[in-house]
Amino acid sequence: MIVEDSPVVCELLESLIGRDPRLQVVATARSAEQALKILRKAAPDVISMDIRLPGMNGFEATRRIMADRPTPIVVVAASVDADDLRISMNALRAGALAVLEKPVLSTPADYAVLGEQLCTRLVIMSQVNVVRQRFQPGPVTPRPQGNARAPMASARRAAGSIRMMGVVASTGGPNALDALLKSLPSDFPAPIALVQHITISFHDAFVAWLKEISPLAVVEAAAGLKPKPGVVYVAPADKHLYVAREGLRVADGEPVCLQRPSGTVLLESIAESFGTQGLGVLLTGMGEDGAAGLLAMHRAGGHTIAEDESTAVVYGMPAVAVRLGAVSESLPLHAIGPRVMKLVHSAGVGAASDEPSP
């Protein structure tokens, strides 16, 4: 189903989607209110959602759909207007799976590329099993992961500090990051390095949105920055992020697991530089990026957490990590923050130093 108020753009989207044999347009709506009325009858597998709509905007429409009739939603928005970008980020927070740039005002070549990207993303997201997530936060017993006991767990405890935390997220990540970061205090006593897979044109809006919702300071990672406690360092658009004791490094390099920035690249650098003093968290996401990096951290003696299937929007990356034996424990999203706080307080924390990891 296409939700788009512009007749011209709606016609363009119908044309693009109509050319793809994998897709069929079952309904179009010129407003969010109309979309909500015809949603049940149309029963689409995936929704292309505009953001700036007459009356109810795309954020509110996404929120209502995900609460009443969960359906995969791909936000298709312009990338030039600050208000549109902010609404797009809030739509991701409300449960939309991805945000893409509208294939308009482009050259014929760019139009073809954007159209192919849009159709492929719609096909992939149509297969995601989105469900209502209703749970009451409370005491949680971590789920042990079979043979995934950290081989140097005792050494990490003896080290007396966790000096770096790495977080990786993809599809469904903004909503998960909102929950995770809000569960951590502004004086969180360790630096956090973050990789979130997101369309390049929406990267700046994502960083700005994180700054608004996070109790911790948020900055875009840059070469030479010395990681400080209580600061979230976001990987730059289309660049890998490496973390070392002497500072951050960013580089182009080849995509890893089809991603740049890659969560695996980030987590492997934490494993190499911080060993037993590293803490890794792998959240919801499609594919396998981050899983091999989490395994590297695990083998180096760091503590590793994967989001449990019960709350993950897409249980792809965490599932691969579990299969690899890379996970110390799987936890539902609402329990990850409290567990992180327990770990940093029981192990002791500290900023990165030049001392070698035990």
> Tokens in use for 358?
């035990």
Q: Which of 50, 84, 178, 289 is catalytic?
A: 289
Cα distance between residue 352 and residue 227, in whole Å: 7
The β-bridge relationship of strands 143-144 and 98-101 is: unpaired
Cα distance between residue 109 and residue 103, in whole Å: 11
In the chain, which ranges are continuous DSSP H helix? 7-19, 32-42, 58-68, 82-94, 108-126, 153-159, 173-182, 203-213, 263-274, 291-299, 317-324, 333-347
Q: Are 197 and 285 in contact (CB under 8 A)?
A: yes
Question: In degrees rounded to 5, what are phi and psi of residue 281?
Answer: -130, 125
User: CB atoms < 10 A from the CB of 211, how many?
Assistant: 15
Can you count the helices (H) and strands (E) in the chain? 12, 15
Q: Which of 84, 161, 197, 330 is catalytic?
A: 197
For residue 306, give the nearest of 340, 274, 262 by alpha carbon: 340
Q: Are 61 and 35 in contact (CB under 8 A)?
A: yes
Task: Report in angstroms the alpha-carbon separations of 232 from 25, 91, 187, 214.
Answer: 41, 22, 12, 9
Cα distance between residue 294 and residue 271, in whole Å: 8
> Tokens in use for 300?
């180096």
| 170 catalytic residue (yes or no) | yes
For residue 72, give the nearest of 55, 91, 56 by alpha carbon: 91
| 334 catalytic residue (yes or no) | no
| 289 catalytic residue (yes or no) | yes
Give 139-151 as a DSSP string: ----EE-TT---T
Q: Which of 48, 88, 170, 357 is catalytic?
A: 170
Q: Are 326 and 295 in contact (CB under 8 A)?
A: yes
Cα distance between residue 267 and residue 299, in whole Å: 12
Catalytically active residues, by annotation: 170, 197, 289
